[in-house]
């Protein structure tokens, strides 16, 4: 839908609200799901070596002293399954400041770039380093594409997926502009309101619609209302859909 409003810009992150032309509609990606995507790209990426994280885990757990630099790093963090790849908490712990520092300390200079990757995205998902994320991605892409000895396919494997990079750029640009607009509103200034960035999350909606889907059990031919709002057939949402 965002592309329907494409104005030819490099990264389209907003569209004019035709019902309130003094405002824009901003396009965000869901940060909790993004952190899983970035981690999963890291897991399958040759440039930011996943093996560095595995080395850190082996070093940290192989001391025998019972003391660990990153005590939250467990077996399930480094040996991912189809289920663990969907867990936001594991991804957040892997892309954390403590892991970044431990990589430099335990694995050494060969893991410096991997540690930088971890630090950048730790701060990004805390919404503390949004402005630095886009230049970092551009620097990374330039470094990879200047390597003449590799094929196009090999270069792409050295980067995050193109969809993930686009989403990070779009979210970064949209977030900065959206927050500026939000705090320029008169009612926000007068009431000294705060904005909690963790509110940008689709988990509650996924949970709600997941519950509705479960109501149908093995029914493979439900009505619209039964499939989407089985538990709440009389809600305004259901009447609107029908």
- What φ, ψ does residue 18 adopt, rounded to 5°? -70, -15
Contacting residues for 207 by C-beta, under 8 A, at least 6 apart: none
> Given a cut of 80, is residue 97 above it in pLDDT?
yes
Integer Cα distance of 132 and 10 in angstroms: 18
pTM score above 0.75: no
Per domain, the residue ranges of the chain are 31-175, 202-241
Round the CA-based radius of gyration of the chain to a whole number and report it.
22
Contact 144, 155 (CB under 8 A): yes
Q: What is the pLDDT of residues 102-159, one digit of tens each?
A: 999 888 888 888 898 898 888 877 665 566 777 888 888 888 888 888 888 888 888 8
For residue range 196-232, list pLDDT tens digits in order: 766 677 777 777 777 766 766 666 676 766 665 555 5
What does the pLDDT average to over 178-198? 82
Q: Are 67 and 21 in contact (CB under 8 A)?
A: no
Confidence of residue 241 (pLDDT cuts 50, 70, 90): very low
* Bridge partner residues of 26 (DSSP): 14
Q: How far apart are CA 56 and CA 70, in angstroms?
A: 9
The mean-pLDDT minimum among 8-12, 79-83, 92-96 falls in: 8-12
């Amino acid at each position: 839908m965002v592309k329907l409003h494409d104005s030819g810009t490099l990264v389209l992150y907003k569209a004019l609200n035709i019902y309130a032309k003094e405002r824009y509609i901003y396009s965000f990606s869901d940060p909790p799901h993004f952190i899983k995507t970035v981690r999963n790209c890291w897991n399958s990426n040759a440039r930011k070596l996943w093996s560095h994280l595995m080395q850190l885990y082996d070093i940290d757990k192989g001391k025998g002293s019972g003391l660990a630099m990153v005590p939250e790093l467990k077996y399930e963090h480094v040996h991912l399954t189809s289920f663990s790849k969907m867990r936001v908490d594991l991804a957040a712990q892997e892309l954390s400041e403590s892991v970044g520092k431990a990589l430099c300390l335990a694995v050494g200079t060969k893991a410096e770039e991997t540690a930088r990757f971890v630090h950048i995205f730790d701060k990004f998902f805390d919404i503390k380093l949004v402005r630095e994320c886009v230049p970092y991605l551009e620097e990374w892409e330039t470094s990879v594409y200047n390597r003449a000895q590799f094929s196009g396919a090999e270069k792409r494997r050295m980067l995050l997926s193109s969809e993930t990079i686009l989403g990070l750029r779009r979210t970064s640009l949209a977030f900065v502009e959206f927050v500026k607009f939000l705090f320029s509103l008169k009612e926000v200034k007068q009431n000294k309101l705060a904005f909690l960035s963790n509110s940008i999350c689709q988990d509650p909606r996924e949970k709600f619609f997941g519950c509705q889907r479960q109501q149908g059990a093995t029914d493979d031919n439900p009505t619209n209302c039964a499939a989407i709002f089985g538990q709440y057939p009389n809600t305004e949402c259901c009447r609107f859909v029908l």
